[in-house]
A and B are shown apart, each in its own frame.
Chain A
Amino acid sequence: MLDKRLFKFPGARQALGVLSLLTLIQAIAIIGQGRFLSVAITDLWGGHQLTSIGMVLVWFMLAYLLRQVMGVAKQYALAPFADKTTASLQTQLTQKYAALGPRTVANQGTGKSVTLAVEGIDQVHDYLTLVLVKLFDMSITPWLILLYIATINFKQAVFLFVIYPVIVIFMIVLGLAAQAKADREYETFNRLSNHFVDSLRGLTTLKQLGLAKQYAQNIYDVSEDHRKATMSTLKIAILSTFALDFFTTLSIAVVALFLGLGLMDGATHLLPALTILVLAPEYFLPIRNFANDYHATLNGKNALADIMTLLEQPVAPETNRYVRRSQRWQATDTLTLEQVSFSYPNADRPALQQINLTLTGHAKVALVGTSGSGKSTLLNLLGGFLVGDGDVKINEQALPHLQQRQWQEQIQVLPQHPYIFHDTLRANLAFYAPNQRDEDLIAVLQQVGLADWFASLPDGLDTLIGEGAMQTSGGQAQRIGLARIMLDEERRVLLLDEPTAHLDIETEALLKETMLPVFDNRLVIFATHRLHWLRQMDWIIVMRDGQIAEQGTLADLIANNGYFVTLQAAMRGTTHA
């Protein structure tokens, strides 16, 4: 129940030490509270006046108060540790995401990465406060009470002691049965519970097919099936809580009966009997509390494990090996790949195989090939977002990979869908080169053809854009991405991943006129499906199944009459006589 890694967090031992001390004091207070209450009741039963038991009642109230104060004190003891630990985990997660890079994080799922850092951390926080308290309660309080009961009535103590593992075993057995049943039905269950969102998403399609109205009944029916499946699982799932409840309450009833019989035989007196009766529910309380929050325990433990696994993931070593000759990529600089290969995790064949490539100075290089031929993988590898095998050299400097800080500070990327941050237009434009003058920003907006759009913005450069604010169309996002690049003159290596694939042909033509001058004095690596760009390129690399099928100038490749010619004929379509 306790993750060993927990003790590695700073302050863990101290916090847990204080917690066990407080729990111990609380357990003593509980015993005192039960004892004084029993004394008071017994005295009154014996015919004493209310006034004569005033002192006992005061003691009861003090013990009761101490117990409750300890309850709060335990929270105060754990909170700083929990807050500090989760805060540090949060920071570490963010830093880890940055170190792992965009591709690894995207592979894990962007949704999951965000959820882990918010809900996952919340669950860990709960685990560190609520669950630890319950865990410590369970391992200290019942045993102290049992010890005390043993001093009063050994037989009752033995009964209570024996029943405890029985309860636990029943809980585990029934819990496992429920789990098995849930596992068996998990798939149906999942399918049924996803059905609703699935239907809502497909509503447009259902409408187009004229089925939308009829489908409402289907939603209801499937939901009812889901209810039945859930109920049948639930019937067993909550059996384990039932068992716990049943055994604990019944044990109290049995204790009461035995005590009653003992009293009638004259074998015992009211005070010890009453004390045991009052303490019996307290004996079972911790395990009941713990079982009720069992799910929180599991979630917290799993979230902690997920976070720790992520934090322990290896990152690329030696990211500071590369020392650039100057900030700007020079006309004499050279990048070489030798026998470079790359495989995605769990893939059956490599995404890149034995890539040999030399890129020199301010060349304009096109990457062509069908989808899945490895263009994007190669671009990601060049950008240092993926780490493959093989030799990489920049200017005769041998490097383990391209995830080099100084290299990444030389490059710029224009992806298919540039990400627009939820921020002002100014911050979005000047993302790479802050402290730009407004006039410069507006001038660039004009150059990329966003002047009209800019004029329509309510707050000019201060307008909030991005998800949840003013949305941008695909074409606008692409132009903003281009503007970002144009505003940073210091970076002279440009990687483009099909930036115009989803634009209409006229928009693309307009954008091309803006882009071509940017290509000058830069090393450009451009993955594209659109053939018209090739005429402006110095060198063309043709990819096929993760390998370089051909490379050369356009004239070379046409003269060669190889795969490139076949490919471009297919791309050009049927006509074109």
Chain B
Amino acid sequence: MRKMILLIKRDTWVFPYLRSYKKLLALIIFLGFMTTFSGAALMFTSGFLISRSAQIPENILMVYVPIVLTRAFGIGRPSFRYAERLVSHNWVLKIVSTFRRRLYELVETGTKSVYAKTQTGEVLNVLANDLFKIENFYLRTLFPTVIGLVIYILIAIGVGVFDWGFALAIFLILGMTTILAPMITLAVNGARDFKQQQLEAELYTDLTDTVMGLQDWILAGRTAELAERQQADFNAINQLKSKQAHFNWWRDFSGAMIIGFTAIVLLVFATRHFGGSSFGVNWIAAFVLAIFPAEDALTSISTGVGEWPRYQNSITRLNEMDEQAQAEAQLQTTQQAAQPSNPTIVLNQVTFGYDQTPVLQDLSLTIPDGQKIAILGQSGAGKTTLLKLLLGDEMPLAGTVTIGGTAVADLSSQRATLIAVLDQQPYLFASTVANNLRLGKLDATDEELWDVLEQVNLKELVVQLPDGLATPMSEMGSRFSGGERQRFALARILLQDTPIVILDEPTVALDPITELAVLETIFKTLHDKTVIWVTHHLTGIELVDKVIFIENQQIAMAGTPAKLMATEHRFQRLLALDHGDLMLE
């Protein structure tokens, strides 16, 4: 409970929006209330109507008002319900739009912690799922709870108008289902829900191990063991779920019994109060019958509140991300400089490392305008770190990184006009071919698009597509092969037209023949630009002006490919390996 209050107090995701959309929220609660009210009022007026009619009044006009009201409430209940559902869904979806933008901006600000975590698709799904859960929290927990409580209080007040003693009794009796039951539910199910989430996570991991590692299980002849392990997981979860279900059954049973008891209290109350007079007796049926339609609204509080633990994690996670991002945003510098005229890159005695482990030590390198340079080295040698330093994503611990004399940190706002990046898996959006290309240059004409497509040898392919440039890429660009995807990304980069292009192992996922063809296209189309190419093997190495090897935090070897081939034994050996010297010795 304390945890819940603390969370609500610190929350910036869910509850503040209630305040900023007060009016709509009031409308939803009003409509929700009116739905139940009409249902109860229908039975109330009907009860009165037939009781009064049974007294055989001389004139139908004497029951005219209840007749009209009965019809009105009969139509009112479904109409209010319909309106309530529409308005509440609309409200929630509106907030989700705001949430999405906010979550996107949060991830986008590039604060390292958030950014690094969102690299894997799984985290993204978790985040998108969190938003979905908040949607449900509003619809399934918050609205029904508030509406239920409003009805609860109004019932007590309604009786209180006639008799405060009975009002207090009803307040206490119904309080068992509207206040006590939700609290007990939260206390009992909270711990169970936590355990259940743990077990479910375990089950998912085990099942993923089963499915992804199925080949190994089969070969090892251990599939029987697999079924056994799964069985244990399932049993543990099912036991917990069964306990939860039993609790819910008996809770709902108690809720229903409380309503039945309330009906009798109302019967006694109505008889005591109205029983004396011949007209008054007609109210007895009215009061007693009205309580049953309110049952749903009152007992749904427990159900809604019982789901809270499910939403709690999502809300906590989003809030924590927010706090983290804010803390880091304050550390970022915002100085900005003018665009440099000459894009010469200079690394001067750069030292960098994570925690205690140095990655680069006193590294100096100058890349003049237009040079094509390849960066080689074993995995983990610091190639990617070097790129991050060039891009200004990381700051050197000592030394400077400048482009045209300006520190890269001061260039972050112009970075996209200065440096383009082609990495292993450039993202192609689930939109049309044209839209994907135009991301490189928003106002590019169709002619320009066709021009770059021709340069990257994709023109023929796109011409053949059913809708040409307007053909959807389909999700993740899965319509196209790996080589084609890289070419599309390259076309986008050509449109972006920056003086510097970084290639981060762009061909790692391709077979050697496709790889070579893509590399040739890349270097042909980027002939007038500075190209910095990180690669893990030597296919296409002769296309560059300069090769550097990074090893032991330093540049271990540097020179033109021709020179290295002539002088460096190690380079020769690697080249021989990579090209697979097949001549039989």
**Residue positions of A touching B, CB distance < 8 A:** 37, 40-41, 44-47, 50, 57, 60-61, 64-65, 68-69, 71-72, 75-76, 79, 83, 86-87, 90-91, 94-95, 97-98, 101-102, 105, 110, 113-114, 117-118, 129, 191, 194-213, 215-217, 219-220, 223-224, 226-227, 230-231, 234-235, 238-239, 241-242, 245-246, 249-250, 252-254, 256-257, 259-261, 263-264, 266, 269-270, 273-274, 277-278, 281, 370-371, 383, 385, 405, 408-409, 411-413, 415, 419, 421-423, 431-432, 466-468, 473-475, 502-509, 529-535, 554-555, 558, 567-568, 570-576
Cβ-closest chain A residue relative to B439: A209
In the bound assembly, the distance between CA atoms of A422 and B174 in angstroms comes to 50
Cβ-closest chain A residue relative to B420: A208
B192 within 8 A of A: no
B538 within 8 A of A: yes
A178 to chain B, nearest CB (A): 13
Q: Are A505 and B577 in contact (CB under 8 A)?
A: yes
B272 to chain A, nearest CB (A): 8
Nearest first, the 10 A-B pairs at minimum CB distance are A210-B416, A531-B580, A253-B74, A504-B536, A245-B78, A256-B46, A202-B427, A223-B97, A98-B223, A270-B54
- The SS class assigned to the A binding surface is helix
* Known contacts A210-B417, A573-B539: A200-B427 contact under CB 8 Å: no
- The SS class assigned to the B binding surface is helix
Q: Are A220 and B101 in contact (CB under 8 A)?
A: yes
Which residues in chain B, 350-408, are within 8 Å of chain A measured between CB atoms?
Answer: 377-380
* Known contacts A44-B271, A72-B253, A573-B579: A370-B214 contact under CB 8 Å: no
Q: Are B285 and A249 in contact (CB under 8 A)?
A: no
Q: Are A223 and B96 in contact (CB under 8 A)?
A: yes
B512 within 8 A of A: yes
In the bound assembly, the distance between CA atoms of A147 and B438 in angstroms comes to 70
Which of the residues B79, B208, B256 comes within 8 Å of A68, measured between beta carbons?
B256
- A-B residue pairs in contact (CB < 8 Å), sample of 8: A50-B268, A102-B218, A114-B211, A118-B200, A203-B107, A209-B420, A261-B53, A505-B537
* Known contacts A65-B257, A208-B421, A413-B215: A256-B429 contact under CB 8 Å: no
Residues in chain A near residue B439, CB distance under 8 A: 205-206, 209, 211
B197 within 8 A of A: no
Q: Are B54 and A45 in contact (CB under 8 A)?
A: yes
Q: Are B492 and A209 in contact (CB under 8 A)?
A: yes
Which of the residues A98, A219, A273 comes within 8 Å of B226, measured between beta carbons?
A98
Q: Are B238 and A83 in contact (CB under 8 A)?
A: yes
Which residues in chain B, 267-304, are within 8 Å of chain A measured between CB atoms?
Answer: 267-268, 270-272, 275, 281-282, 284-285, 288-289, 292-293
Residues in chain A near residue B270, CB distance under 8 A: 44
Per-position contact with A for B221-263: 1 when CB-CB < 8 Å, else 0? 1010011001100110010001001000110110011001001
Q: Are A101 and B213 in contact (CB under 8 A)?
A: no
Q: Are A194 and B475 in contact (CB under 8 A)?
A: yes
Q: Are A72 and B250 in contact (CB under 8 A)?
A: yes
Q: Are B215 and A219 in contact (CB under 8 A)?
A: no
Q: Are A105 and B264 in contact (CB under 8 A)?
A: no
A101-B214, A242-B82, A533-B580 known, 14 other contacts, Cβ within 8 Å: A45-B51, A71-B256, A118-B203, A199-B104, A208-B421, A211-B416, A213-B108, A253-B73, A263-B53, A266-B56, A274-B51, A503-B379, A572-B580, A574-B543
B444 within 8 A of A: no
* Known contacts A371-B514, A473-B380: A506-B574 contact under CB 8 Å: yes
Which of the residues A44, A60, A94, A129 comes within 8 Å of B230, measured between beta carbons?
A94
Q: Are A118 and B207 in contact (CB under 8 A)?
A: yes
Residues in chain A near residue B51, CB distance under 8 A: 41, 45, 270, 274
Which of the residues A223, A260, A534 comes within 8 Å of B67, measured between beta carbons?
A260
Residues in chain A near residue B217, CB distance under 8 A: 98
Cβ-closest chain B residue relative to A75: B249
Per-position contact with A for B70-81: 1 when CB-CB < 8 Å, else 0? 110111011101
Q: Are B512 and A506 in contact (CB under 8 A)?
A: no
Residues in chain B near residue A227, CB distance under 8 A: 90, 93-94, 96-97
